[in-house]
């Protein structure tokens, strides 16, 4: 019987993780394709699109983290076989997301010019970037609700629909980029505006697909439109209480990365380029960690909803093992062939050589990242969103940022040492996550 249970757990893990990994792969591919096509424009256009997309997606990711609370609550109710309450929570979460997206979307549209005037001096970049940001923030009106809708589906145990919506949206984005940036098939050559329109429409398309399945109710959970704005105080309070720490955690991580990038830029053009390229390569390695974290969140939440703590523990242990194995293989590749990997990203040998040294350090990060992401996912699935936030706060403010500041401004070392600093951060973070998990308080959290 135990063997059958273990097989069932293993199958469920991969049923949840594989579509999530593929979804993240698609997002990375479209980002790479978008960067490559925009890269054929002039430097001002490249800067405008890179800055604009970073601003928009950073903000969307921060507020999209509201979906973490929805995942924890929905998965708990699904595990308890209480689908009606899960659907009530889903409707409330979407309602909150729509309100926030309207505020963020229109604020972004109205403040686009002011934002670019604040962060850059080049008049051409300001004009191009402001136009880009206004257009993509129209898509943000749909993107944040979609993030939350995807979280609801994952909480119900469905990671396939988010993959399907990502596949169609990203395919449209790539084709739209090609057609509208360069003026193909009779369409006007719009350059930066073309990239923005393709991105914005793709976001609307992705959201439409997700909500189509969610409203139909054939994906494990149904969205009742009539309940979306009938906010229940207690349900709303639970969603907000669980989501705010996750939102602050995302804000801390994104803000820390952004500030680090500004500091690293002070090391010079080649160092910043090498860092950016190595980051692009390493982002591929996050896919298994992300997919298994999604599986951990859903399975722990559903297991606790079913009052089966043992299943939650066994699931987490197995998910950590699978994540470590996969990311361990990536670490091996980073350690053994970093130069070959980085040659895929650039032809400039000086930049490639420096980036490959960064990537070799990145090999040290892989297993700690695998453990940290998975355990964080398990804690969030149990309703412990404060723990990962506190750990993120400590590792960013007490480890990452001080070390990078000292390396860049005090010791004036090269960018490779910055990567050692982030490696130390990931090791500390994984250690603290495991300590919090082993204390076991997550087993008795009521949500």
Which tokens in the block code for residue 179?
């057609």
Q: 111: how many CB neighbours lie within 10 A of its CB?
A: 15
Residue 219 confidence class, pLDDT cut points 50, 70, 90: confident
Phi, psi (degrees; rounded to nearest 5) at 215: -70, -35
CA atoms within 13 A on the CB side of 98: 13
- Residues 113 and 133: their CA atoms lie apart, in Å, by 9
Q: What is the mean pLDDT of residues 182-206?
A: 92
* pTM over 0.85, yes/no: yes
pLDDT for res 11:
93
- Residue 447, judged by CB atoms within 10 A of its CB (0-12, 13-18, 19+), counts as buried
| Range with the poorest average pLDDT among 39-48, 131-140, 255-264, 275-284 | 39-48
Element (H, E) at 30: helix 2-38
- Share of residues in the chain with pLDDT > 70 (%): 98
Q: What is the mean pLDDT of residues 170-181?
A: 93
DSSP 219: S
DSSP 60: H
Alpha helices per DSSP H over 156-285: 160-182, 192-216, 233-264, 269-283
Per-state percent for the chain, helix, strand, coil, to nearest 5: 85, 0, 15
Q: What is the mean pLDDT of residues 67-85?
A: 94
CA nearest to 246, candidates 295, 310, 281, 293: 293
With beta carbons less than 8 A apart as the criterion, state whether 160 and 14 touch: no
- Residues 318 and 381: their CA atoms lie apart, in Å, by 16
Q: 333: how many CB neighbours lie within 10 A of its CB?
A: 17
Residues 6+ apart with CB under 8 A from 197: 135, 176, 180, 190
- Residue 128, judged by CB atoms within 10 A of its CB (0-12, 13-18, 19+), counts as buried
pLDDT for res 125:
84
pLDDT for res 84:
94
14-28, 190-204, 233-247, 381-395: range with highest mean pLDDT: 381-395
Greater confidence (442 vs 32) lies with 442
What integer best gives the mean pLDDT of the chain? Answer: 90
| Range with the poorest average pLDDT among 51-60, 250-259, 406-415 | 51-60
Residue corresponding to tokens 């190595």: 278
Q: What is the mean pLDDT of residues 384-407?
A: 97
Integer CA distances (angstroms), 241 to 67, 68, 144, 146, in order: 12, 11, 18, 20
- Residues 415 and 274: their CA atoms lie apart, in Å, by 8
pLDDT for res 1:
39
CA 85 to chain centre: 27
**Is a pLDDT exceeding 90 seen at residue 271?**
no
**Is a pLDDT exceeding 90 seen at residue 57?**
no
With beta carbons less than 8 A apart as the criterion, state whether 378 and 297 touch: yes
Residue 29 confidence class, pLDDT cut points 50, 70, 90: confident
pLDDT for res 26:
85
Which tokens in the block code for residue 240?
């907000």
- Residues 140 and 393: their CA atoms lie apart, in Å, by 27
Residue 345 confidence class, pLDDT cut points 50, 70, 90: confident
Q: What is the mean pLDDT of residues 170-188?
A: 92
pLDDT for res 21:
92
**Is a pLDDT exceeding 90 seen at residue 279?**
no
Phi, psi (degrees; rounded to nearest 5) at 132: -60, -45
CA nearest to 183, candidates 171, 172, 195, 173: 195
**Is a pLDDT exceeding 50 seen at residue 4?**
no
CA nearest to 299, candidates 374, 195, 187: 374
**Is a pLDDT exceeding 90 seen at residue 275?**
no
pLDDT for res 2:
43
Residue 59 confidence class, pLDDT cut points 50, 70, 90: confident
**Is a pLDDT exceeding 80 seen at residue 94?**
yes
């Amino acid at each position: 019987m135990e063997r059958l249970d273990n097989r069932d757990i293993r199958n469920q893990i991969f049923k949840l993780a594989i579509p999530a990994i593929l979804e993240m792969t698609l997002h990375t591919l479209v980002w790479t394709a978008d960067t490559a096509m925009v890269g054929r424009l002039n430097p001002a256009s490249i800067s405008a699109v890179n800055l604009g997309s970073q601003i928009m997606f950073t903000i969307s990711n921060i507020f999209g983290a509201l979906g973490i609370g929805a995942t924890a609550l929905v998965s708990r109710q699904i595990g308890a076989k209480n689908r009606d309450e899960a659907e009530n929570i889903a409707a409330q979460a979407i309602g909150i997301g729509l309100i926030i997206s309207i505020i963020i979307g229109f604020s972004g549209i109205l403040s686009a010019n002011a934002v670019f005037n604040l962060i850059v001096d080049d008049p051409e970049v300001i004009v191009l970037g402001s136009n880009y940001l206004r257009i993509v923030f129209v898509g943000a009106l749909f993107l944040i609700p979609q993030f939350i809708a995807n979280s609801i589906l994952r909480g119900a145990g469905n990671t396939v629909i988010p993959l399907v919506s990502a596949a169609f949206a990203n395919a449209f984005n790539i084709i739209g980029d090609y057609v509208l940036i360069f003026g193909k098939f009779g369409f006007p050559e719009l350059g930066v505006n073309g990239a923005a329109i393709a991105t914005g429409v793709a976001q609307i398309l992705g959201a439409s697909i997700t909500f189509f399945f969610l409203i139909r109710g054939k994906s494990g959970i149904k969205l009742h439109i009539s309940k979306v704005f009938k906010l229940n105080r207690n349900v709303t309070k639970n969603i907000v209480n669980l989501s705010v720490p996750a939102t602050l955690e995302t804000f801390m991580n994104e803000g820390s990365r952004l500030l680090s990038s500004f500091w690293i830029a002070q090391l010079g053009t080649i160092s910043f380029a090498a860092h950016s390229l190595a980051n692009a390569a390493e982002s591929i390695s996050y896919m298994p960690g992300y997919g298994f974290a999604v599986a951990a969140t859903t399975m722990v939440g559903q297991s606790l909803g079913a009052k089966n703590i043992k299943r939650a523990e066994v699931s987490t242990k197995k998910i950590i093992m699978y994540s470590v194995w996969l990311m361990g293989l990536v670490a091996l590749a980073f350690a053994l062939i970093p130069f070959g990997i980085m040659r895929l990203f650039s032809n400039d040998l000086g930049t490639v050589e420096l980036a490959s040294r960064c990537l070799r350090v990145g090999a040290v990060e892989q297993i700690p990242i695998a453990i940290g992401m998975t355990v964080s996912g398990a804690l969030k699935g149990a309703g412990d969103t404060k723990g990962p936030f506190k750990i993120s706060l400590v590792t960013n403010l007490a480890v990452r940022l001080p070390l990078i500041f000292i390396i860049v401004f005090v010791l004036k070392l090269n960018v490779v040492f910055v990567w050692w600093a982030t490696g130390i951060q990931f090791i500390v973070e994984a250690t603290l996550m495991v300590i919090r998990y082993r204390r076991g308080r997550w087993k008795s959290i009521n949500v």
